[in-house]
Amino acid sequence: MWFNLQSTLTGERYQTLSRRVDRLEDLLRNAQGESETDRQGDFHDFAHATGNGLAEVFRADGSRAYPSPTAAARAFPWPVVKTGDAERFLRIDSAGQSYWMLARPFSLDGQSLILMAAAPEAGNLLVLHRFLIGLLISAPILLLVSSAGGYWVGRRALKPVDRITNTVQSISIGSLSERLPVAATGDELQRLAATCNAMLDRLEASVDRIHRFTADASHELRAPLSFTRTVAEVALRNPRIDPQSRHAFEEIVAEGAKAAVLLGDMLTLARTDANSSDMVWEMVDLADVIANVYEKVKPLADERQLDLSLSLDANQSVSVMGDFPSLRRLLWILLDNALKYTPVPGRIEVALDASNTEATVLVSDTGIGIAKSDLPHIFDRFYRTDVSRSQVEGSGLGLAIAKGIAEMHRGNLFVISEENKGTTFRIVFPLSDSGVGQDTATATRHV
């Protein structure tokens, strides 16, 4: 823009000087019949009327055809131009200022003359300077405005991408039924969303087949496994059985019991994945669930010489919508893990806390803890930790089942652990407005 303005101003200056020289030519032609004095007077008047007197008429030998009209014209450094040269448009510095000068060869009555006119460039320079200052001031503002506009346009253009990204990030193995929003824009984003939805359809169908296979296989295997175990138990009742056969049947019974538990766990997970179970949903008091499991776990803790304590608000009723047996199994899994991984002397604590919006169940122990590298995976199916923890019998499905039960009750299961210091599992259940009932008493019961 600055260079374009400079070129435009220079062109206008050339046109101005060219028109001035044209008028000077007309003046000289019209004054041919006049006396020398009159011609000099006409030239003098012309020079003063245009360009502040910066005009001259030179002969071919470089002498002035007419006296200089002003002292400025006399002192101006006019260039030497030959009569055979073409018209010249030059930039000349004089007395610390810049001037544009036009020199044009001219013939009058067979006499070769050089017509010259000059004009200061100060006005052009002032305009260019002010324009440059305006650019320097407005450029950052325009940059900010254009950046903000570009950001706004970009965000509007990428908003569908953000929606697709957020939806994809929220889809997991348990929520494959969700689909991406498909806007009827006819562009690449619409095709991308439609392609992703088609992929999710295939994934959902494949996972459903896997879930059905797992559930069907677990269910079908329970009958022959139960039959095998029953036959082994009947054989053990035979008093004439030899010791070697007795030992073999005892192994069959023990391994059959483990396999039955494993199949039961797999069937539970398959039903959880398929969102189909025999749960009976009703308002369940979490305090009753915790007390029920506590009474069953307390003798086991005493047998292992572990200190098991229960902390409940005696006058608080914390009710959630759920299935009593499933919640009881959830708490049992966490306490069973605490019993397995807490050495003597150790302490296990169970606590219930509630606010107006959520209820929190805490199961803490002073056991061997969980390594940081294992924490992100402990809720994965069949995941077993390091050797020290793997010495304890288990299939690696317990915590996966616990997390599934918590999620079916719209709850979240968290874990905090430090090696050789202990582990804390925290279950957070959302409550409705009527989910918590509390009397005025605030006494706490410790069992």
Closest CA relative to residue 1, chosen from 139, 122, 97, 116: 139
Domain containing residue 228: 188-273
Q: Are residues 6 and 23 in the same domain?
A: yes
How does pLDDT run across 80-135, given as a tens digit for each residue? Answer: 887 777 888 989 888 888 999 999 998 887 788 899 999 888 888 889 889 889 88
Q: How many domains does the chain contain in total?
A: 3
Rounded to two decimals, the pTM is: 0.51
| 308 token code pair | 């098991």
| 243 token code pair | 């010791």
Residue 172 placed within a domain: no
How does pLDDT run across 136-193, given as a tens digit for each residue? Answer: 898 899 999 999 999 888 888 777 777 778 878 877 766 777 787 777 777 787 888 8
In this model, does residue 9 exceed pLDDT 80? yes
Given a contact cutoff of 8 angstroms between Cβ atoms, the answer to whether 117 and 20 are in contact is yes
DSSP state for residue 86 in the 8-state scheme: P
Distance between CA 56 and CA 119 in Å, rounded? 12
In this model, does residue 5 exceed pLDDT 60? yes
Residue 438 placed within a domain: yes
Q: In this structure, what CATH number is given to the domain that contains residue 14?
A: 3.30.450
Work out the mean pLDDT of the chain and round it to a whole number. 82
- Tallying the residues shown for the chain, one arrives at 447
In this model, does residue 62 exceed pLDDT 90? no
Q: Are residues 265 and 300 in the same domain?
A: no
Q: Are residues 292 and 228 in the same domain?
A: no
- Identify the pLDDT of residue 388: 47
In this model, does residue 386 exceed pLDDT 60? no
Given a contact cutoff of 8 angstroms between Cβ atoms, the answer to whether 409 and 339 are in contact is no
- Identify the pLDDT of residue 394: 61
Distance between CA 283 and CA 428 in Å, rounded? 16
CA dihedral 69, 75, 77, 82 (to 10 degrees): 40
As a three-state string, the secondary structure of 323-363 is CHHHHHHHHHHHHHHHHHCCCCCEEEEEEEEECCCEEEEEE
β 422-430/358-365 pair status: antiparallel
Distance between CA 328 and CA 287 in Å, rounded? 11
Residue 139 placed within a domain: no
- Identify the pLDDT of residue 374: 85
Final residue of a domain: which of 93, 120, 147? 120
Q: Are residues 115 and 209 in the same domain?
A: no
β 97-108/306-313 pair status: unpaired
In this model, does residue 443 exceed pLDDT 80? no
- Identify the pLDDT of residue 393: 61
Residue carrying structure tokens 């062109």: 11
In this model, does residue 447 exceed pLDDT 60? no
Final residue of a domain: which of 120, 137, 171? 120
Average pLDDT over residues 406-423: 90
Q: Are residues 328 and 200 in the same domain?
A: no
Q: Are residues 398 and 299 in the same domain?
A: yes
Higher-confidence position of 64 and 188: 64
Final residue of a domain: which of 120, 149, 166? 120
Average pLDDT over residues 214-239: 78
Distance between CA 376 and CA 372 in Å, rounded? 8
Distance between CA 107 and CA 66 in Å, rounded? 15
How does pLDDT run across 299-347, given as a tens digit for each residue? Answer: 999 999 999 999 887 666 788 888 899 899 999 999 998 998 899 889 9
- From residue 230, give the alpha-carbon distance in Å to each of 135, 209, 235: 94, 32, 9
In this model, does residue 384 exceed pLDDT 80? no
